[in-house]
Amino acid sequence: MAGKILWIDDEVDMLRPHIVFLTNKGYQVTPVNNVNEALEIMSQKKYDLVLLDENMPGISGLEAIPMIKHKDSSAKIVMVTKSEEEQIMEQAIGSQIADYILKPVNPNQILLSLKKNLQSDDLVEQKTKLEYQQEFRNLSLEVSYIRSYEEWADYYKKIINWEIKFDKVFDNEFKDLLQSQKEEANIQFAKFIEKNYEDWLNSNEKPLMSHTLFKEKVKPEVQKEKVLLLMIDNLRYDQWRVIEPLFTKFYNKISEDYYYSILPTTTQYARNAFFSGLLPSEIEKRFPNKWFNDNEEGNKNDYERDFLEDQMKRLGLSSKSMKYVKILNADFEKKTLDDFQQIKKNDLVVIVYNFIDILSHAKTDNNIVSQFIRDDQTFRSLTYNWFENSSLMKIIKLAAESGYKLVITTDHGTIYVKKPSKVVGDKETSTNIRYKTGKSLNYDNNDVWAITAPEKLFLPKGNLSSKYIFAKNNIFLAYPKNYNHYVNYYKDTYQHGGISLEECIIPISILEPK
């Protein structure tokens, strides 16, 4: 049976052909000609949807809506009316009805509304699975022929599009197939990075990267108008796709692009490169007292404002006033909201927002959060819920009202790690489990990209014999000592620093106020 329908209309007898039509389509329809009788019936039986006439003697359709919802808060209501008055439409929609249909009604019009409200999830799932079956072979073949960074970004977007579509599908078989395709893509992507990354750093033929992004994308906007630059730490492309509608309530999207994070894909390296407009070894050379290597004490990202001020001077933007804010917790987020009237006096407002990075690390450190974040789908869902209820969205609303253009980006992404790979180092070896740097490293060459000459990748050297290794795909690096404990602790957590589509290909969007 397609669903149980209660149809309330004072002229319901005249709708008999429509009722027969719906019955033949598998719906069980109960006709009543007044609201009181309908409410009495609802006390005894549950209905999936109520078709409700607006203009009836006695209790009108609009008056009946709260009564029906009181009887059954989950019942969907479709208003059926002759009235085309805008006020009545607004009242009905404001009462959170499921649909609004004008008389005279066509049976297929009613059928469409019922399918949309009662069967849309099933229909979406069926169509999504069918389309993916048709696309599966193309995706599998395409990955073998990718030769450019543009093609990799396009392919990654296709995978993410399917992942988000599958969020509404309950069949894990198809999700598992897609996951296997993404894993194969990451294997090929790592080979691509190994082959091309060094050339990018020494050539004009390269994608947008961490150290070129501000100059290429942000500078032109700051030259023209006031800009709010929102740097959301650790924001992946799939998460941006999910939270984007929250921002487009107040802004229209002008452009959406991608860029490649430098290696290692960590805050220390990638975000400092973004704010300075320099590669890590160049930062170390220009700011020897403000760059700390992995084996050195000190907060690695304490000088982002200084780096940005220096870059703005080099780019001829020193006449532009700039306010830099780093939001590390909810209290500081609220303070930023309270202070926005002062903050908005600046030409460029930079907000570094650390929530997603905190959330991804909490997956490792906090058992409660770990239970909530079981996979990428739940990670996306929790990200959306946080942003929807955050003070940040109030700040964004104020920024739009104040005429700020909005640039949203990130420093790197993150990946759900599953497979351990043994690595041996010494006490000077860095602690990150997606990359290591040190002078005494033993590792499995199949699992990492090893860099024996860091200077070629513009990476600082803690000492003369330092090397770097970057984990590929969903691998994490584990020491032999307490190996099983280490593996159990970090398996199925979110980490960053290595080479994967999720960590490397990240979003930048430019939006203007509505």
| Tens-level pLDDT at each residue, the chain (514 residues) | 679 999 999 999 999 999 999 999 999 999 999 999 999 999 999 999 999 999 899 999 899 999 999 999 888 999 998 877 778 778 877 878 999 998 888 999 999 999 999 988 888 889 999 999 999 999 999 999 999 999 999 999 999 999 999 998 888 889 999 999 999 999 999 999 999 999 999 999 999 999 999 999 999 999 999 999 999 999 999 999 999 999 999 999 999 999 999 999 999 999 999 999 999 999 999 999 999 988 777 788 999 999 999 999 999 999 999 999 999 988 999 999 999 999 999 999 999 999 888 887 776 666 777 788 889 999 999 999 999 999 999 999 999 999 999 999 999 999 999 999 999 988 888 889 999 999 889 999 999 999 999 999 999 988 878 899 999 999 999 999 889 999 999 999 999 999 999 999 999 999 999 9
In total, the chain counts a number of residues equal to: 514
Q: Which two tokens stand for residue 351?
A: 């907000």
Characterize the bridge pairing of strands 3-8 and 415-417: unpaired
Measured distance CA(13)–CA(379) in Å, rounded = 51
CA distance 476 to 482: 15
Domains of the chain: 3-118 (3.40.50.2300), 122-201 (no CATH), 210-415+503-513 (3.40.720.10)
Exposure string over 290-305, b if 16+ CB within 10 A, otherwise e:
bbbbbbeeeebbebbb
Q: What are the structure tokens assigned to 399, written together?
A: 């920024």
pLDDT, residue 363, reads: 67
Listing DSSP states for 73-102 in one string gives: TT-EEEEEES---HHHHHHHHHTT-SEEEE
**pLDDT for 417:** 97
pLDDT at 371: 80
What does the pLDDT read at residue 1?
Answer: 63
Vertex 232: Cα angle to 226 and 238 (nearest 5):
115
Cβ pair 409, 506 in contact under 8 A: yes
Q: What is the predicted pLDDT for the residue at 120?
A: 87
pTM (2 d.p.): 0.88
For the chain, percent helix, then strand, then coil, each to nearest 5? 50, 20, 30
Q: Pinpoint the alpha helices (H) of 34-148.
A: 35-42, 61-71, 86-94, 107-118, 120-142
Strand partners of residue 259? 506
| Cβ 227 vs Cβ 405: under 8 Å | yes
> Cα(251)–Cα(265) distance, rounded to whole angstroms?
29
pLDDT reported for residue 372: 80
